[in-house]
Amino acid sequence: VTLILPARAAAELVRILPETEDEVALTLSANQLSLAVQDTQVVSRLIEGVYPDYTQIIPKETGTSVTLARAELAAAVKMASLFARDSAGHIRLKFLPDKGLDIEAVSPSAGKNTATIQAEVTGEALEVAFNAKYVLDALNALTAPQVVLSSTGVDRPGILRPVGDDTSLALVMPLRLDA
């Protein structure tokens, strides 16, 4: 059975389900799901329709990638985001095979911030723009100490994956590069 549960209901279920061996009773009707455990019952309306096939937007090939420390990347993106406030969070990531990863943000009032993270880049040189908040959200969702950041082009999504974990990934859509 495939169903779409509202995020709020799913979060509530995760919160109330105890980590015990208690029996959970699920009742499914045409448009509702009922869950009962111990003396708690949750009833939620289901979302009608079919969940979109998100796998279609995940690039199959790797393109250009860089492996680096998640905390170091998060710190550099956070610093750049302070400068990117005037430009709606717009930051540029430059994959430089001989140098590493440059993270750049420009503010008309505060100036320019550039950070370079020394790392081995696989593939060709590439420059991609992202929203700093979305990159930080993705990095905060991943818990591995090392991550791989990859992109197949300026108009293609960036993929963040934890090193050694093929089951998780974060996808960040790019912004249009200004001239």
**What tens digit of pLDDT does each residue of 12-62 get?**
888 887 666 788 898 999 899 998 888 888 899 999 988 888 888 888 888
pLDDT over 90 at 71, yes or no? yes
- Could you tell me which residue, 128 or 177, shows the higher pLDDT? 128
Q: How far is CA 177 from the centre of its chain?
A: 20
Q: What is the pLDDT of residue 158?
A: 93
Tell me what pLDDT residue 1 has.
78
Q: Please state the φ and ψ torsions of residue 59, each to the nearest 5 degrees.
A: -60, 140
Q: What is the pLDDT of residue 86?
A: 84
pLDDT at 68: 95
Q: What is the pLDDT of residue 162?
A: 96
Q: Are 55 and 136 in contact (CB under 8 A)?
A: no
Average pLDDT, the chain: 90
Q: What is residue 38's predicted lDDT score, i.e. its pLDDT?
A: 83
pLDDT value at residue 81? 94
Residue 70 phi, psi dihedral angles, 5° rounding: -60, -45
Q: What does the pLDDT read at residue 58?
A: 86
Dist. CA 67–CA 100, nearest whole Å: 9
Per-residue model confidence (pLDDT) at position 20:
67
What's the pLDDT tens digit per position in 79-92?
A: 999 999 888 899 99
pLDDT score for 37: 84
Distance CA(77)–CA(92), nearest Å, equals 10
pLDDT of residue 114 exceeding 80: yes
Determine the residue type at 102.
D
Q: Is the pLDDT of residue 160 over 90?
A: yes
